[in-house]
C-alpha cells in the first residue's frame, strides 16, 4: 500500500503509455558528497581538512603512507583528529588501511549505544 502512494501509474492522454510518478516530497535535503582520497604524505592533510570543512564525508586510504613512514602517518592522523574534534566531527580507523572522517552533521555508529537500543 505504501508503494502505491509513492509509485502510482498514470496514463498519458491519447498515447496510452504507462509511466511511474515518483513522489519527491522531502527531496529538498542537502546532498552529501562522499570523497574517497589517498593520503600519500603529510602535505595531503591540508586538502583533506578542506574537504571535511566543506561538509564532505572522507574515506581516506592510508596504506601507502603507513607502509612508507609510520611517523609521518601518526603526525597526519593526529592533525586530522584535532581538526575533526575542533569542528565537532568524528574520525574512525577501519582496518589498517582506511580512515573515515565525517563532518558534524554525521555520526559514526561504534556499537549499540543507549539511544540506538530497541525499545522493549
Domain 34-102, CATH homologous superfamily name and number? SepF-like protein (3.30.110.150)
- pLDDT for 70 equals 93
Contacts of 11 (CB under 8 A, 6+ apart): 17, 18
3-class secondary structure, 24: coil
In this prediction, residues 61-90 reach a mean pLDDT of 93
Task: Identify whether the C-beta of residue 62 lies closer than 8 Å to the C-beta of residue 97.
Answer: yes
Cell numbers 601507502 label which residue? 64
Where along the chain do its domains lie?
34-102
39 pLDDT higher than 90: yes
Helices (H) and strands (E) in the chain, counts: 4, 6
- pLDDT for 109 equals 85
In this prediction, residues 77-87 reach a mean pLDDT of 93
- Supply the pTM of this predicted model: 0.66
Amino acid at each position: 500500500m505504501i508503494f502505491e502512494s509513492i509509485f502510482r501509474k498514470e496514463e498519458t492522454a491519447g498515447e496510452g503509455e504507462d509511466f511511474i510518478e515518483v513522489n519527491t516530497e522531502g527531496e529538498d535535503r542537502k546532498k552529501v558528497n562522499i570523497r574517497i582520497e589517498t593520503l600519500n604524505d603529510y602535505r595531503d592533510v591540508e586538502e583533506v581538512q578542506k574537504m571535511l570543512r566543506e561538509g564532505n564525508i572522507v574515506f581516506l586510504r592510508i596504506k601507502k603512507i603507513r607502509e612508507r613512514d609510520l611517523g609521518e602517518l601518526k603526525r597526519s592522523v593526529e592533525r586530522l583528529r584535532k581538526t575533526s574534534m575542533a569542528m565537532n566531527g568524528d574520525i574512525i580507523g577501519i582496518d589498517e588501511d582506511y580512515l573515515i572522517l565525517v563532518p558534524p552533521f554525521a555520526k559514526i555508529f561504534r556499537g549499540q549505544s543507549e539511544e540506538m537500543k530497541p525499545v522493549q
